[in-house]
Amino acid sequence: MAAPSAVIEIDGLVTRFGQAVIHEDLDLSVERGEVFAIVGGSGTGKSVLLREIVGLMRPAEGRVRVLGHDVARLDPGAARHLRRRWGMLFQDGALFSSLTVGENIDLPLKEHTDIDPATRRRLAQLKLGLVGLPADTVDKYPAELSGGMRKRAGLARALALDPELLFLDEPTAGLDPIAANGVDELVRSLRRALGLTVVMVTHDLDSLHAISDRIGVLVDKRIRVGTIASLIQDDHPWIRDYFRGPRGRAAAGGGGKVGGGGEG
């Protein structure tokens, strides 16, 4: 039974690709206002689960409710209205390379509102300021930005419609340790300032320690949910190796980003 404050409720979810079963009888609830992280080994369907939650994929069985609505049963108009209430940052930022950053942020505003172009441009600049980017970024193209800046620009687009829910797919992937720490701090401050509920897929142990309230671990086709303190005590082999292995111990010790690298 989901908690009364749950904004995401998943019951009996089954995911199949051909004969392969990725998720089986998976249940999950995410509470309003929390940062909920999803982790798991390769092939456990982390990003797939995120896409099923936002309606980009349909599970073979089970029910997914977001903000009180069954996402698989909505008519196009209702689905469009519900999508206004969340934002999503894809792993690579998913900015359109042929558009400026401002034009990228403008896309959801143009699709879902009747705001005039001049006001939309000012809103794009405001969103860029919210994620720590200068106002002149609005006229730059994604190729002119560093990896960390592209993540922030993608986050500005995800926040364009003032969502209640924010979905993040590997928000620190490919970033150097300094840029990754910056993204963690940004997500934490945005959650606090805007009252967001955040659901993120990540492999980054430092992010888990820095910003997550609860963690869902995908193992054996289901999900085990707990805090870091409780999951460290779990004797499942993958969970034990993940949280109690060398990288897990380094993250728990506050030693900074482990295994960083990539573009800042």
Largest distance between two CA atoms of the chain: 57
Residue whose C-alpha is closest to residue 72's, from 12, 20, 25: 12
- Tens place of pLDDT for every residue, the chain, 264 residues? 444 589 999 999 999 999 999 999 999 999 999 999 999 999 999 999 999 999 999 999 999 999 999 999 999 999 999 999 999 998 766 899 999 999 999 999 998 999 999 999 999 999 999 999 998 999 999 999 998 899 999 999 999 999 999 999 999 998 889 989 999 999 999 999 999 999 999 999 999 999 999 999 999 999 999 999 999 999 999 999 999 988 888 888 764 454 433 334
The full 3-state SS of 42-80, as one line of letters, equals: CCCCHHHHHHHHCCCCCCCEEEEEECCEEHHHCCHHHHH
Domain that holds residue 126: 95-162
C-alpha 73, offset from chain centre: 23
With beta carbons less than 8 A apart as the criterion, state whether 36 and 50 touch.
no
The phi, psi pair for 242, rounded to 5°, reads -70, -50
With beta carbons less than 8 A apart as the criterion, state whether 39 and 202 touch.
yes
Q: What is the pTM of this model?
A: 0.90
The phi, psi pair for 153, rounded to 5°, reads -65, -40
Residue whose C-alpha is closest to residue 29's, from 216, 173, 166: 216
Q: Could you give the number of structural domains in the chain?
A: 1
Length of the chain: 264
In a domain, 145, yes or no: yes
In a domain, 142, yes or no: yes
What's the rounded Cα separation, in Å, for the pair 256 and 261? 13
In a domain, 101, yes or no: yes
In a domain, 214, yes or no: no
In a domain, 127, yes or no: yes
In a domain, 59, yes or no: no
In a domain, 152, yes or no: yes
pLDDT value at position 254? 62
What's the rounded Cα separation, in Å, for the pair 258 and 243? 13
In a domain, 104, yes or no: yes
